[in-house]
Amino acid sequence: MLIFYEMSKLSARVLVLNRFWQVVNICTVKRAFSLLFQDSARAVVLDGGGFQTFDFQGWINYSQNNFYSTKEAKEKKEWIRTVKYSLRIPWIILLVHYEGYPRLKVSLTRRNVYKRDNFTCQYCGKKFQPKYLNIDHVIPKHRGGKTTWDNVVCSCIWCNLKKGGKTLEEAGMRLLKKPSAPVKFPIHQEDLIKFFHPSWKHFIDLSYWKVKVGEEDASL
C-alpha cells in the first residue's frame, strides 16, 4: 500500500493509452499509480528518442536513478513523495490488457453540422447565428445527393437561396473546404486544454481537436 504525502498532486491528470498505444482517456495521478501497483498498466516515458515502459518496481528504480540527474528533480510538481521514496509522476500510462476504444461515430444532426463548420457559411465564409443558417446538400437531393457528412454543409439562408437546387458549377459557387465527417475524440476538449502536459504532444495534436460535437436529437 502506498501512502502519499502530497495529496494535491494526486488529482493531476495522466494520459491513458490502450495496449495499441491509442489515447482512450485521462485519469488522476492516484488512479495511475493504483493501476501500476496492480500490474494493470505501465508507465511510459520518452527517453533517447524512443519510448520506454516500466512496471511499478521498474518505475521506482527509474525514479530513484534519475532523481538527482533530471531537470524534473528541480521541478517539484513533477514528483510526489511517499513514506519510503520520491516517485516521478507518470504523465502517460499504457494499459496492459485493454484493447477497446471509445465510440467515435458522431450523429449527423443539424447542430453538429453547424459545430463542424464553426457556424460559418461554407460559401460566403461569414459566421452567423443559428437562426440565419441552413443545411445545404452540395449535390442536391433531387440530383441523387445523399444526406451524408461529405455532402452537407452549413450555409447562410442567402447563399442557400442563391444556390437553390443547382450544382456548384451551375450556381457558380465554391466551397471553403471539402466537407467530411468530424472525429469525436474520447476526451473532452476542455479537459485536454486544462490538464494538457507537454509529454502528451507525442500522442495528441491539440490543434486537431477543434471540433466540439454532441449528440443532439435534432436531425437534418
Instruction: Tell me what pLDDT residue 65 has.
Output: 85
Q: Are 115 and 11 contained in the same domain?
A: no
Distance CA 125, CA 177 (A): 10
Instruction: Tell me what pLDDT residue 213 has.
Output: 46
Q: Are 98 and 116 contained in the same domain?
A: no
Q: Are 135 and 31 contained in the same domain?
A: no
Q: Are 3 and 98 contained in the same domain?
A: yes
The residue segments making up the domain with residue 71 are: 1-103+185-212
Q: What is the mean pLDDT of residues 131-140?
A: 96
Instruction: Identify each DSSP E strand in the chain by its residue range.
Output: 13-17, 23-28, 41-47, 50-54, 79-81, 86-88, 92-95, 133-137, 152-156
Q: Are 23 and 84 contained in the same domain?
A: yes
Distance CA 27, CA 204 (A): 16
Cell 500510462 locates to 93
Q: Are 92 and 58 contained in the same domain?
A: yes
Q: Are 30 and 83 contained in the same domain?
A: yes
> What three-state secondary structure class fits 167?
coil
CATH number at residue 142: 1.10.30.50
Q: Are 11 and 97 contained in the same domain?
A: yes
Tell me whether residue 217 is in a domain: no
pLDDT digits (tens, 9 = 90+) for 178-205: 999 887 666 766 677 788 888 888 888 6
pLDDT digits (tens, 9 = 90+) for 90-133: 999 999 998 887 766 778 999 999 989 999 999 999 999 999 99
Instruction: Tell me what pLDDT residue 76 has.
Output: 59
Q: How many domains is the chain built from?
A: 2
Q: Are 66 and 155 contained in the same domain?
A: no
Q: Are 154 and 196 contained in the same domain?
A: no
pTM exceeds 0.75:
no
Instruction: Tell me what pLDDT residue 107 has.
Output: 84
Tell me whether residue 220 is in a domain: no
Question: Which DSSP state fits 105?
Answer: -
Distance CA 80, CA 124 (A): 54
Select the more confidently predicted residue: 156 or 7. 156
> With bands split at pLDDT 50, 70 and 90, how would you rate the model's confidence at 82?
confident
Q: Are 144 and 73 contained in the same domain?
A: no
Q: Are 21 and 72 contained in the same domain?
A: yes
Tell me whether residue 119 is in a domain: yes
Tell me whether residue 180 is in a domain: no
Tell me whether residue 24 is in a domain: yes
Q: Residue 117 corresponds to which amino acid?
A: D
